[in-house]
């Protein structure tokens, strides 16, 4: 077990932020702490890093109890949402900072920094200052800086939240492959379930300071343990008094099922949402572009609604 | 960008010219009114030289004191906000709002040999008012907020993520202070320290009262300039004034240059 979290509790004044959180993060995995804002996920990450104190419980890194060990002796890599670049230092010196602290000889330092800048594809930017970089480049610099000290674990706080959708998407793919290449145990915090499922091989879903469910993206999506997880991970609609995924429903022109009236058709490119009326209920069905083209639903017409086979 | 209209530019030029440039030039013109030789000989006036020495000694102590105080107090206010720091934040501006003459009177009341603090200090043989420590005290007081006022907003903006990152990379508190905290506030601190220096060497009112204005003993350069004018020794006064003005202008120019360089280095790539 690479990171063991045992019974961590935390209060801020009267507010309880974390309630006896326990989890074991396997060596080399990419785990996402996923939850809405205020669920305690960032606080838990900061406690693992040693940037925040906790009231009860212990943290172990590779079998070493680090509870009470100051952050600088924990040997972790941490990236903030704003990347926290050292603005007065060049990209090279940013990455070299931790090596300098650890008294790595100058020649080795240079070699190691150049290696890392190659890894994050910032070779040509080594003499630039952080303000001359784009958001995505700054994040890659922050990653190289964190990896320079060869940390035991890598902790990323909302790593893609400050980037626009396109850059964020490219970086997610890139971070995933980088993590596999380096093989470092990584925990990332995010409020975005798509991002979590895309990047992580393991999700820890937090709500109100408690763990709701732990599992692979596939497991938690298909077999949500609680109503909260079900609602948080993907769209839900209500039909016959129960919550179902809109893509688990099917519309047809004939066959078995309930007769419903089409009340709205929303086209979102690949996805088409068909809202229908069934008595007092208004469930919606998620169709692909092709399915919608074959069915061609028209507002006001009658169709047959049934669970997808 | 569209250029501002000619009349507006002219108005600003005339305004600044009449208020700053011309009077400043006038001082230098008067200092050199009797020729360069006369200026040079006035430079070696023993009383003025002694006064310059005292001003330098006062600045040498008062400016570092306020630099350290300013950095410390703004870190405290920003990083550990509490009821005490809110009070401190409000109190720290008092020296700017008060007239220097009131500052002088306050200090004299408190630190004179009959005063609240002065009495016990005098029993220990420490004399504040009418001596060097009193002048330093007055100088420190009038320039108290100049460093911290530059730093507090900047420290808030910079935040603590850089420092925390440095800690995760293995750096200890002392290293973090010198390599991260201080580096991100260098130019703001330099600006505040320069303002402090200008204020300290230029202070007149508070120092006049606290020092007692004793020739060769507690007479600073500003007091010496004033004394020369009162004693119908205007030329010597203008020579002193031109020296003081030169120092101030040089300090401001150096700072402007440094700021310009710093901004160039950090120019965004567009």
Q: What is the pLDDT of residue A16?
A: 93
Q: What are the residue ranges of helices labelled H in chain A?
A: 41-49, 91-101, 106-119, 135-147, 165-182, 193-199, 217-222, 227-233, 289-295
CB spacing of A88 vs B186 below 8 angstroms: yes
Q: Residue with structure tokens 């790539």?
A: B269
CB proximity list for A305: less than 8 A, separation 6 or greater: A239, A249, A250, A251, A257, A258, A259, A260, A276, A278, A283, A285
Q: State how far the Cα of A147 lies from the Cα of A116, in Å rounded to an integer.
A: 8
- Which B positions 177-206 lie with beta carbon below 8 A of chain A? 179-180, 183-184, 186
User: How does residue B1 score in pLDDT terms, banded at 50, 70 and 90?
Assistant: low
The total of other beta-carbon atoms located within 10 Å of residue A192's CB is: 16
A203 phi/psi in degrees, rounded to 5? -115, 135
Q: State how far the Cα of A31 lies from the Cα of A50, in Å rounded to an integer.
A: 18
The 10s digit of each residue's pLDDT in B44-67 is 999 999 999 999 999 999 999 999
The DSSP code for B101 is H
Q: Flag whether the ipTM exceeds 0.85.
A: yes
Q: Are strands A258-268 and A271-277 parallel, antiparallel or unpaired?
A: antiparallel
A90 touches chain B (CB under 8 A): no
Q: What is the pLDDT of residue B261?
A: 67
Q: What is the pLDDT of residue B268?
A: 43
Lookup: tokens for A167: 């850059």
CB spacing of B184 vs A88 below 8 angstroms: yes
B213 touches chain A (CB under 8 A): no
Residues of B in contact with A72 (CB under 8 A): 167-172
How many secondary structure helices (H) and strands (E) does chain A include?
9, 17
Q: State how far the Cα of B217 lies from the Cα of B223, in Å rounded to an integer.
A: 11
Q: What is the pLDDT of residue A26?
A: 94
CB spacing of A88 vs B167 below 8 angstroms: no
pLDDT at B205 over 90: yes
Task: Report the C-alpha dihedral over residues A9, A12, A13, A19, rounded to 10 degrees.
Answer: -30
The 10s digit of each residue's pLDDT in B209-261 is 999 999 999 999 999 999 999 999 999 999 999 999 999 888 888 778 767 76
Least reliable range by pLDDT among A188-202, B13-27, B114-128:
B114-128
Lookup: tokens for A309: 């086979």
Question: Mapping DSSP to helix (H, G, I), strand (E, B) and coil, where does residue A270 land?
Answer: coil
End-to-end, the C-alpha distance of chain B in Å comes to: 17
The ranges of chain A with pLDDT < 50 are none
Nearest-by-CA chain B residue for A85: B162
pLDDT at B135 over 70: yes
User: How does residue B123 score in pLDDT terms, banded at 50, 70 and 90?
Assistant: confident
Task: List the one residue out of A240, A241, A221 whose CA is nearest residue A230.
Answer: A221
User: How does residue B270 score in pLDDT terms, banded at 50, 70 and 90?
Assistant: very low
Query: What are the percentages of helix, strand and coil residues in chain B, rounded to 5?
Result: 80, 0, 20
Return mean pLDDT, chain B.
90
Q: State how far the Cα of B212 lies from the Cα of B210, in Å rounded to an integer.
A: 6
Please check whether residue A305 is in contact with residue A278, taking contact to mean a CB–CB distance below 8 angstroms: yes
Nearest-by-CA chain B residue for A130: B266
Dihedral of CA A140/A142/A143/A145: which sign? positive
A63 phi/psi in degrees, rounded to 5? 80, -5
B78 min Cα distance to partner chain A (Å): 18
């Amino acid at each position: 077990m690479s990171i063991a979290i045992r019974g961590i509790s935390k209060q801020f004044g009267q507010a309880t932020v974390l309630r006896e959180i326990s989890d074991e993060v396997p060596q080399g995995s990419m785990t996402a702490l996923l939850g809405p804002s205020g669920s305690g996920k960032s606080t838990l990450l900061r406690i693992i890093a040693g940037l925040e104190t906790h009231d009860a419980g212990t943290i172990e890194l590779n079998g070493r109890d680090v509870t009470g060990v100051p952050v600088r002796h924990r040997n972790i890599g941490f990236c903030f949402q704003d990347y926290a670049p050292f603005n007065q230092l060049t990209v090279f010196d940013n990455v070299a900072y931790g090596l300098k602290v650890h008294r790595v000889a100058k020649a080795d330092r240079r070699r190691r920094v150049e290696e890392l800048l190659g890894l994050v594809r910032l070779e040509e930017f080594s003499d630039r200052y952080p303000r001359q970089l784009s958001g995505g480049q700054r994040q890659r610099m922050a990653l190289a800086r964190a990896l320079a000290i060869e940390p035991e674990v890598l902790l990323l706080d909302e790593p893609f939240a400050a980037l626009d959708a396109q850059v964020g998407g490219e970086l997610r793919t890139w971070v995933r492959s980088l993590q596999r290449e380096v093989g470092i145990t990584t925990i990332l915090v995010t409020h975005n379930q798509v991002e979590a499922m895309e990047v992580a091989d393991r999700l820890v879903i937090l709500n109100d300071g408690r763990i709701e469910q732990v599992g692979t993206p596939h497991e938690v999506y298909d077999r949500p343990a609680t109503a909260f997880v079900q609602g948080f991970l993907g769209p839900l609609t209500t039909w016959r008094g129960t919550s179902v995924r809109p893509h688990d429903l099917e519309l047809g022109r004939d066959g078995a099922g309930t007769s419903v009236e089409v009340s709205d058709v929303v086209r979102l490119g690949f996805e088409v949402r068909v809202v229908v009326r069934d008595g007092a209920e208004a469930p919606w069905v998620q169709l692909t572009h092709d399915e919608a083209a074959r069915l061609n639903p028209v507002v006001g017409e009658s169709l047959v609604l049934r669970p997808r086979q | 960008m569209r250029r501002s209209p000619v009349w507006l530019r002219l108005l600003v030029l005339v305004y600044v010219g009449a208020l700053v440039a011309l009077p400043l030039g006038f001082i230098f013109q008067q200092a050199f009114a009797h020729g360069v030789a006369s200026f040079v000989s006035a430079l070696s006036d023993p009383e003025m030289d002694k006064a310059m020495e005292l001003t330098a000694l006062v600045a040498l102590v008062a400016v570092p004191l306020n630099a350290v105080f300013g950095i410390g107090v703004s870190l405290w206010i920003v990083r550990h906000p509490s009821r005490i720091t809110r009070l401190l934040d409000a109190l720290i501006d008092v020296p700017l709002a008060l007239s220097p003459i009131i500052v002088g009177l306050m200090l004299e009341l408190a630190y004179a040999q009959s005063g609240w603090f002065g009495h016990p200090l005098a029993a220990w043989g420490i004399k504040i008012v009418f001596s060097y420590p009193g002048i330093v005290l007055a100088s420190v007081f009038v320039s108290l907020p100049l460093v911290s006022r530059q730093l507090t907003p900047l420290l808030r903006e910079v935040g603590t993520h850089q420092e925390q990152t440095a800690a995760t990379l293995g750096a200890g508190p002392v290293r973090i202070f010198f390599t991260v905290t201080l580096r991100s506030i260098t130019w703001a601190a330099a600006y505040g320290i320069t303002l402090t220096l200008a204020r300290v060497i230029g202070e007149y009112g508070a120092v006049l009262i606290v020092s007692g204005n004793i020739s060769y003993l507690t007479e600073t350069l500003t007091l010496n300039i004033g004394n020369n004018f009162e004693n119908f020794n205007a030329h010597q006064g203008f020579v002193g004034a031109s020296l003081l003005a030169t120092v101030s202008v040089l300090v401001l120019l150096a700072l402007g240059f440094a700021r310009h360089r710093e901004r160039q280095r950090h120019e965004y790539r567009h």
